[in-house]
Every structure is written in structure tokens, then in C-alpha cells.
Structure 1
Amino acid sequence: MDGFVSHCTNRLDAKGRVSIPASFRAALARDGFEGLYVHPSIDQEALDCGGHALLREIHDLLGRLSPYSEERDLFSTALIGTSEILKVDSEGRVILTESLKAYAMIETEVTFVGHGHKFQIWEPSRFRVHLEEARTRVRDLRKQLSARHATPDTPPPRPHGARE
């Protein structure tokens, strides 16, 4: 798989560095981006991170908006104007800036969360709350989707092995 999957938690060291998970570093290397592109998430108290794939998605979004529109200016400010490109050292570590840590309320540990084309960095306890909320909402969405696809004329399923 070429994208970012799974999640794990790592501790910041005494110098404020944190190791990017090896599978995430491998995905960044395949993407060919030098460093790590990071911006505050527009809808969570987390950081969105990635390389060329994330930047392409942002530029594709901006390209669909009228060049001098308020919407484009707002998205540009939120996704590009607050972004940083962090240097990844030879050990696969980055130093999160104070502004990034403050936005995501990070102190001593971070949780890396894969999203396919990007990953997020969370403060671990905030991620646990977000994950539980996501699971609850996905269960509710699944019920809604199941209800939409059920047809009123469809008889209930027969028990396994039952005869007509």
C-alpha cells in the first residue's frame, strides 16, 4: 500500500523531536517529498501532514474555486498560509514547532493517524475521544445506509436451512 494506514503513539524526546512511524516514512519516501508538509487541520484540533499527494489534493481543491473568490482566499489561508515544511532528520524525526504543538495541544506524546493520502498528528487523549466519536458516528451512518437500501416489498430473510 502506498498510503498512510493505522495509528501509533510516540513520545517527544528531550529536544522536542518525535519519530515518524517507519511505515509513514516509507510512504513519504515513495511520494518523493523532501521533508514533511504540515498544516493545522481545518476541522479538528490536529495537524494534517503529508507530501506531494496532500499538496495535490489542496491544489486541486483550490483549482476548483474561482481565482479571486472569498472561498479560495479562505481555503488558501487555512491550508497554505498556516502550513510549514518540517525537516525530517536522518533518524526519521521531526521537531514540531511551538505554534503547531499549541494548535494541537501537544505536550509530551503524539498519535500518528493514517488517512491514506495524508496522516494526522493528535494529542493522544484527544485522539481517543475523536476515535470513539468516529466509531459511534460510523455505526449510526451504517444503520442509516442499511435503512435506505431496504425495500418495503422485501420479505425478511428466512432462517438458515428453512424451507418454503
Structure 2
Amino acid sequence: MDRFVSTYTMRLDAKGRVSIPAPFRTVLAKDGADGLYCHPSLAEPALDAGGNRLVGEIDALIESYPPYSEAREELAAALYGTSETLRIDPEGRVVLSDTLKAHAAITDQVAFVGLGHKFRIWEPERLKAHLAEATQRVRELRQAIGSRAENPRSTKA
């Protein structure tokens, strides 16, 4: 499989290391990643992480803006400027910097959530709250889509 899927909760050890879930390490290895590319999420109090596919996606996004444009410069600063490439040790562990941990409010445990082409690293309780909210929004969206399908002339969502 070449996608990050599922959710795993792991504990930081006494040295501040955390094991990347084995299925995620497999995806990173297939991607040819030498380390773990990680940056504070722009949308959530979590960390976005991945390998070369994630870096390529970020490159493409930034390059879609005109050179030297304000939007391009801001995106580059927000994504490249806050990113870290974490070394994965032989046991599949990484050390999250204090800056990354502070952004996600990580203390002793982390939750890894697969998002297909990348994964997100959360403080487990924050993830639980986020998933509850996301599930509710998806249910509401499903109801709105279902009601439009039942009555295609209706313009109400």
C-alpha cells in the first residue's frame, strides 16, 4: 500500500523519541524518503508529516504562484520556513523538536492519523475532539447531499 491509513497512538520514551507506526514507515520507504518531513499544520493544532510526495505537493503548491508574489513568499515562509526533516533512527523512531511539540501541545503521547498522501500527528485528546467534530460535519454534509438527491429540483442544502 502506498497510502497512510489508520490511526495509531504511541508514547514518547524518556529521551523524547516516538516510534513511527510500522505501516507508515513502509509507505515512507516506498516513497524513497530519507527522513520524515514535518511542519506545523496550517489548519489544525497538529503536525503534517510525510515523505517525498508531501514535499512534492508543497513544491507544486508554492510554484503555482508567480515568482516573488506576496502569496508565494508567504506560503514558502509558512511551509518551508517552519518545516523540519526529522532523522528516523534504525528502530523507526524520531525526535520531535520542542517547537513542533509546542504547536501540537504534545507531551507524552502522540496520535498518528493517516490522510492518504500524508499523515498528521496530534495530541491524542485533541484528535479525539477533532474527529468528533469532523464526523458531525460529514454527517450533516451527507444529509444535505442525500436531500438534494431525493429532490433534485430543490435548491436548499
TM-score tier (shorter) = over 0.9
Give the structure 2 partner of residue 96 of structure 1: 96
1:144 partner letter: A
Give the structure 2 partner of residue 156 of structure 1: none
* Alignment pair present for 1:83 and 2:64: no
Matched length: 153
Encode CA deviations 1:102-143: one digit per residue, 9 max, x unaligned. Answer: 110000000000000000100000000000011000001111
Equivalents in 2 of 1:148, 1:60: separation in Å?
Answer: 35
Give the structure 1 partner of residue 55 of structure 2: 55
Unaligned runs of 5+ in 1: 154-164
Moved >2 Å (runs of 4+) = 147-153
Give the structure 2 partner of residue 36 of structure 1: 36
How far does residue 77 in structure 1 lie from its aligned partner after superposition?
1.1
Relative to structure 1, the CA distance from residue 35 to residue 149 in structure 2 (aligned partners, 3 Å threshold; closer, same or farther) is same
1:117 partner letter: H
Give the structure 2 partner of residue 15 of structure 1: 15
Give the structure 2 partner of residue 105 of structure 1: 105
Equivalents in 1 of 2:30, 2:148: separation in Å?
Answer: 40
Equivalents in 2 of 1:74, 1:152: separation in Å?
Answer: 42
Give the structure 1 partner of residue 146 of structure 2: 146
1:75 partner letter: L
2:41 partner letter: S
Unaligned runs of 5+ in 2: none
How far does residue 147 in structure 1 lie from its aligned partner after superposition?
2.3
Moved more, 51-60 or 68-77: 68-77
1:3 partner letter: R
TM-score scaled by length of structure 2: 0.94
Equivalents in 2 of 1:107, 1:96: separation in Å?
Answer: 10
Equivalents in 1 of 2:122, 2:46: separation in Å?
Answer: 5
How far does residue 95 in structure 1 lie from its aligned partner after superposition?
0.4
TM-score scaled by length of structure 1: 0.90
Identity across the alignment (%): 56
Encode CA deviations 1:2-55: one digit per residue, 9 max, x unaligned. Answer: 010000100000000000000000000000010100000001000000011101
Equivalents in 2 of 1:51, 1:86: separation in Å?
Answer: 11
Give the structure 1 partner of residue 6 of structure 2: 6
Relative to structure 1, the CA distance from residue 152 to residue 88 in structure 2 (aligned partners, 3 Å threshold; closer, same or farther) is closer
How far does residue 151 in structure 1 lie from its aligned partner after superposition?
3.2
* Alignment pair present for 1:116 and 2:120: no
